[in-house]
Amino acid sequence: MEKQIGKQSVRFENPPYIMSSAAIVGQKEGEGPYGKFFDEILNDDKAGCECWEEAEGKLQEMAANKALSKSGLEKKDIRYIVAGDLLGQLMASSFGLMKLEIPMFGIYGACSTMGESISIASMLVDGGYADNILAITSSHFASAEKQFRFPLGYGSQRKMASTWTVTGSGAVIISSEKMAQKANMSDKNKVHITGITTGKIVDFGVKDSMNMGACMAPAAADLIEAHLTDFHAKPEDYDKIITGDLGSVGQRVLLDLLRDKGYDISDRHMDCGLEIFDAETQDTHAGGSGCGCSAVTLSAYILKQLAEKNWKKVLFVPTGALLSKVTFHEGQSVPGIAHGIVIESI
């Protein structure tokens, strides 16, 4: 079986299983449409910590431990962690996961990090380099605003095109078929990853850091076109094509760009940023964003739909805006990136 297909995709010979998942979120997220699906909702968005950054690390620690307990595995059973976040030097992942004492790959893909971590973990498992890997990421509204925009105390006004960074951490344990069989997973709950498409950095010259959807949509369109081309697939082959956090502005740009390329995904497109908050009762302007947005939606809701056979096959496309405080102040544009994961129920 040829694993490398097309220009930027991989089809797995030994599709890794998703053994378990966990989603820990903040209060605002818990009040949204998916509130009943999350494993835990914080009563205090500081999680009892001294600062926002420490709280985000705590979210990762909680999500990792919850995923472990749900899988029936112990820390010693996990070969690697693949993790990242939005904060400088991946501080939430580094400090939050340190106590686990598990070998770790620290990665950065902005808000596409969950897609990148699952891609790397899946290739390692398919290649026989690990039997169990924890893929995890997080974001926090307050820590992200503090780093990339303005401290909350400043009280700056947000544009209507802006999105609201999700406070949350999502984790999945990706395992080999051998480990899934050993765990005696019931057929009705089996979900595996059959392929990936790795995205390229795409820059349409957008410089508005308050309009992340417009920055990321070109990368999402490029990724989806590349994926369909590499796999000789059609949009109709998927129950859902799910982007990470384009929001209402980015969704319109994505659909227009894909129509120009000859693809219409409007009847099956879903964006995690548009789903996680209630647009009518929770004022988040264009929707949700952040690494945690796609991660908690996948961990709490998307995988549940696949496990329960409501969906058979989805293309999960977390999206990221490669924004830097330095490049922003130097007047550079904000490039985007996206990664595609094919997830199927068995």
- Model confidence pLDDT, tens digit, residues 137-195: 999 998 887 777 666 666 666 766 688 899 999 999 999 999 988 876 655 568 999 99
Type of residue at 332: Q
Nearest CA-CA partner of 292 in 129, 182, 163:
163
* Interstrand relation of 288-289 and 313-317 (parallel, antiparallel or unpaired): unpaired
The CATH number for 190-345, chosen from 3.40.47.40, 3.20.20.70, 3.30.70.260, 3.40.309.10, is 3.40.47.40
Helix, strand and coil percent figures for the chain, each rounded to 5? 40, 25, 35
The pLDDT score that the predictor gives to residue 1 is 81
In the chain, where do the E strands start and end?
Answer: 4-5, 9-11, 17-25, 40-41, 80-84, 104-106, 132-139, 164-165, 168-175, 191-197, 240-243, 269-271, 288-289, 313-317, 319-321, 336-338, 340-345
Which pair of structure tokens corresponds to residue 208? 């508005």
Model confidence pLDDT, tens digit, residues 50-73: 998 999 999 999 999 999 999 999
Structure tokens at 194: 């059959």
Nearest to 325 by CA among 316, 315, 334, 336: 334
What average pLDDT does range 83-105 have in this prediction? 96
What residues contact 155, with CB distance under 8 A and at least 6 apart? Answer: none
Res. 322: pLDDT tops 80: yes
CB 250 within 8 A of CB 223: no
Burial of residue 14 (CB within 10 Å: 0-12, 13-18, 19+) is middle
DSSP 202: B
Q: What is the pLDDT of residue 324?
A: 84
Within the chain, all domains assigned CATH 3.40.47.40 are found at 4-180, 190-345
Residue 220 sits at the vertex; the CA angle it makes with 215 and 223, to the nearest 5 degrees, is 135
- In degrees and rounded to multiples of 5, residue 343 shows phi and psi of -120, 130
The CATH fold of domain 4-180:
Peroxisomal Thiolase; Chain A, domain 1 (3.40.47)
How far apart, in whole angstroms, are the C-alpha atoms of residue 318 and residue 245? Answer: 7
pTM, whole model, 2 decimals? 0.95
The amino acid at residue 205 is G
Angle at 274 between CA 173 and CA 285, to 5 degrees: 130
Q: Tens digit of pLDDT for each residue in 17-46?
A: 999 999 999 999 999 999 999 999 999 999
For helices 52-71 and 141-148, give the axis angle rounded to 10 degrees. Answer: 140
**The tokens of 298 are what?**
């996948």
